[in-house]
């Protein structure tokens, strides 16, 4: 009997590898959505992670009869009114690097100490089939922003996000450590559990 299949709404093999690692030994076949780059692009311009995640999954699920998984995630800093939030990937403007975004955030955090440096990584994962949302799950990991980057792994804001459970930044964590604690890992495992338990049609 063939394993259940999920198509990732992406053409990025690095993201596929991450999702396969998050799935672990789960009996699911994860693949990139065939023909993804040829489909009309989905513009992630909604005001919430949930709307962007669901919108993306609904959009790309129109092009296959199989289940599609999509996510939206970002860093939320309460002391900055929730920024970077949904703009995490483009916080420093078009064409900016991860290092540019980190440096902009550190500038914004100058003078802030203690609880004002609290931050959360948030992720919302949506499963959709043929234009219908099947499951939406979310989770987060709470930590704090340190004053300068540490670590050479990960991406985005990982070098300045200190995870208390690990005792170091996400960029200093091994991939398996990060998978265990990350917002995306937690949200995706919830969705995968629903999918595999046949609680969804």
Q: For residue 46, what are the CA distances in angstroms to 29, 49, 50, 51?
A: 30, 8, 9, 6
Whether 158 is catalytic: no
Q: Estimate the share of the chain in helix, then strand, then coil, as percent rounded to the nearest 5.
A: 40, 25, 35
Nearest to 58 by CA among 145, 139, 143, 127: 127
Distance between CA atoms of 120 and 109, rounded to whole angstroms?
15
The label of the residue with tokens 């699911």 reads 28
Distance between CA atoms of 71 and 88, rounded to whole angstroms?
14
Catalytic residue among 31, 45, 71, 72: 72
User: Apex CA 90: angle with CA 114 and CA 16, to 5°?
Assistant: 100
Q: For residue 10, what are the CA distances in angstroms to 39, 41, 121, 151?
A: 11, 10, 21, 27
8 A C-beta contact, residue 86 and residue 48:
yes
How remote is the C-alpha of 19 from its chain's centroid? 10
Catalytic residue IDs: 72
């Amino acid at each position: 009997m063939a394993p259940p299949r999920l198509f990732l709404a992406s053409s990025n093999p690095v993201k596929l590898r991450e999702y396969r690692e998050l799935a672990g030994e789960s009996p699911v076949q994860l693949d990139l959505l065939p023909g993804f780059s040829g489909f009309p692009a989905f513009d992630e311009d909604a005001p919430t992670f949930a709307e962007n995640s669901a919108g993306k999954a609904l959009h790309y699920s129109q092009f296959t009869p199989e289940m599609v998984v999509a996510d939206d995630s970002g860093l939320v800093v309460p002391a900055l009114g929730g920024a970077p939030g949904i703009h995490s990937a483009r916080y420093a403007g078009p064409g900016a690097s991860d290092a540019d975004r980190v440096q902009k955030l550190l500038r914004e955090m100058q003078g802030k100490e203690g609880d004002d440096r609290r931050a959360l990584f948030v992720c919302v994962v949506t499963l959709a089939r043929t234009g219908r949302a099947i499951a939406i799950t979310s989770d987060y990991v709470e930590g704090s922003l340190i004053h300068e980057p540490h670590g050479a792994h990960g991406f985005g804001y990982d070098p300045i996000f200190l995870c208390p459970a690990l005792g170091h930044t996400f960029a200093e964590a091994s991939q398996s450590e990060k998978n265990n604690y990350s917002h995306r890992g937690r949200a995706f495992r919830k969705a995968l559990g629903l999918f595999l338990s046949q609680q969804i049609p």
